[in-house]
Amino acid sequence: MLQRVFTILDQEITELNVRSRAEGMTEIPRFYIKVVGQTALLEAQMGLPLFATVDVDAYANFVWLARECFCRVLEREGRHFDELSDQIWMPPETQYRQMIQGVSFDGYLAEPEYVLISKALKAPKKNGPLIRDYLALRPSPLFFALAETYKLNLEQFL
């Protein structure tokens, strides 16, 4: 889903910029979108039993018009941009996988270990079942390293 959204968004922003340039208007400046949260986990296809969500959490540095375009493209997919995304805590060293290097923007997806650490640290009760399921799947060494760095007590999830 996200690859399709990013591709369509890049096409629409590029077309808007071409029209703006032809009319002597200001173009939408290049921006990025970094998807975090449940959508990042769904897109990672890790085999975890996840609840589908209509909210898309993302950090982005876009201008208003680009945000509106993003919201419209998401809406056509039955999703919506969570305006409070900037309040989500992610580890400062979070790694992102580039999904698109478009003409008008770059789209990224947070690596799942960082999302899981965020969920475990900030809402352990709510995300307990998810973390338990992940621990049963043999977590990556990166997850264990992050748990140690952030002093996450994994026993609370057993």
Which band of pLDDT confidence, cut at 50, 70 and 90, is reported for residue 50?
Answer: confident
The reported pLDDT for the residue numbered 143 is 95
In a domain, 149, yes or no: no
pTM > 0.95: no
Mean pLDDT across the stretch 78-104?
95
Give 125-151 pLDDT, tens digit per residue.
999 999 999 999 888 999 999 999 999
Which band of pLDDT confidence, cut at 50, 70 and 90, is reported for residue 53?
Answer: confident
Alpha carbons 134 and 99: distance in angstroms, whole number: 24
The reported pLDDT for the residue numbered 158 is 83
Where is 43: in which H helix or E strand? helix 37-44
Give 24-42 pLDDT, tens digit per residue.
999 999 999 999 999 999 9
In a domain, 152, yes or no: no
The reported pLDDT for the residue numbered 82 is 94
Q: Indicate whether 83 pLDDT > 80.
A: yes
Show the domain range for 7: 2-112
Q: What share of the chain is helix, strand, coil (3-state, %, to 5)?
A: 50, 15, 30
Total tally of structural domains belonging to the chain? 1
Residue 27: DSSP 8-state: P
Mean pLDDT across the stretch 88-96?
96
In a domain, 105, yes or no: yes
In a domain, 156, yes or no: no
The reported pLDDT for the residue numbered 146 is 97
The reported pLDDT for the residue numbered 5 is 96
In a domain, 30, yes or no: yes
Q: Which two tokens stand for residue 35?
A: 């998807």
In a domain, 143, yes or no: no
Q: Which two tokens stand for residue 105?
A: 């923007």
In a domain, 59, yes or no: yes
What is the CA 23 to chain-centroid distance, rounded? 34
